[in-house]
Copies of this chain bind each other. A is one copy, B any other.
Amino acid sequence: MSITRSLLADLRRAVGPQGYLEQAADIEPFLVDHRKLYRGATPLVLRPESTDQVSAIMRMCNEARVGVVPVGGNTGYCGGATPSEDGSQIVLSLARMRRIRAIDPLNYTMIAEAGCVLAEVQAAAASVDRLFPMSLGSEGSCQLGGNLSTNAGGTAVLRYGMMRDLILGLEVVLPDGRVLDNLKPLRKDNTGYDLRNLFIGAEGTLGVITAAACKLFSRPASNVTAFVGLTDPQRAVSLLSRLRTFTGDAVSTFELIPRTALELVLEYIPNTANPLDQGHDWYVLLEIGMGRQAESMREAIEAELAAAMEQGEISDAALAASESQREMFWRLRETIPEAQRHIGASIKHDVSVTTSELPRFIVEASQLVRALSPKGRIVSYGHLGDGNLHFNISRPIDSDDESFLRLAPNINRAVHDLIARYGGSISAEHGIGRLKREELVRYEPPVAIEVMRAIKQALDPNGIMNPGKVL
């Protein structure tokens, strides 16, 4: 159904004068997704300040059968928060709901609203000497609600899990405006079905998450951050197992970086240097966080890396000697996407396989890509500890963006078909949004799609929650 003037007036009234945007310039940032893949239209961006206001909005839109698109920091990669082109959907920004409602260091929990920027949540935890471990590139602008709706991943999943693993309870406004209050900060609660995990990762298609009870952890008293050179990914897999065992699963980051990626970073990003004396075919950035008991940990891990070197598992390693060096090590990893943008268009894949099969997957996927684009520059890096690879191909030096991107459908198909043969995932951490809807239907088992549709129908019978996304 279309949006009537009277509905618009009711919605404006529900949120008050501070609660909406309708001038073209104000609305503009909500019309385009982070990767500029889509441009939508909307007559109204709502900015409610309370759960009650969200509830009122949903009730009205449900009665009018008008679609609602929830948006957080708009940093997603799959267009999941962009309205449709026809202007028939309302955008719902949670940005004004940014209170930390409660924080309990002895219970290791915090209750925060969906509009909190991730960095604020991290800072609130740190202020009581606790850690909220979710960490990713856009943490300065992405919002907790978006992290929840996309089940965000990032660089600490190996030890602390995805967003799903960090949540004890949720407050959700259902499509018809009812409020589902499951915000208890309890570690154990076996009373009926688990509802929170339906909404986590549903990309706003089942309801609007307005607040969450989050798990906190102890802040590591010290971190060992190492940059390691090695000859191949198989050795990286062995090193991961060695260090997980050695440290009692205290490895929080284990990122694989190929020679091409480091060279791009060193060429295009200022203030970067290879921490190792020579170049290597592959690198690993790893971090191990430990408590105060482990004052001798640094030496012990240094000795263990020396043993790995003697046994030929790794070729070289450097340990960050200061906080600034640690930051530089991290910059080498985090600026890879930026460095890649300097060399033209790229075709990206966010895939996962088992950690043990990841080395073989890289070899086979690279062969497939070379058959389709012999000079395409493969930049395959990512979270080896979780089996999550960002398998990207930048255009050849002697080509142009447009003709290279014409290869995308064939390259995507080849890589995703290979993923299917490995029993892997075609979207490890970026979700489905609008971009991968057809891929989802192609690769997900039909029974799973049927069950998802049954759940969507049960919770959102009028189909007003983020229409056109995921399913």
Contact = CB atoms under 8 A, between A and B. Distances in A.
Interface of A: 104-109, 129, 150-151, 153, 157-158, 161-162, 164-165, 174, 178-182, 184-195, 197-198, 200-202, 206, 217-221, 237-238, 240-241, 244-250, 289-294, 296-297, 300-301, 304, 352-357, 383, 386-388, 423-432, 436, 440, 443-445, 447-452, 454-459, 470-471
A164 B241 contact: no
A456 B193 CA distance: 9
Contacts of A304: 293
A458 to B, nearest CB: 4
B106 A356 contact: yes
Contacts of A206: 193
A158 B218 CA distance: 13
A214 to B, nearest CB: 13
Nearest to A296: B296
8 contacts: A107-B354, A109-B354, A187-B355, A187-B387, A189-B352, A217-B249, A246-B292, A296-B296
A153 B188 contact: yes
Nearest to A452: B193
A245 B249 CA distance: 16
Nearest to A471: B192
Contacts of A294: 248, 293-294
A69 to B, nearest CB: 18
Best-buried of A237, A249, A290, A445 by chain B (most CB within 10 Å): A249
CB-CB nearest 4 A-B residue pairs: A248-B291, A197-B197, A106-B356, A458-B458
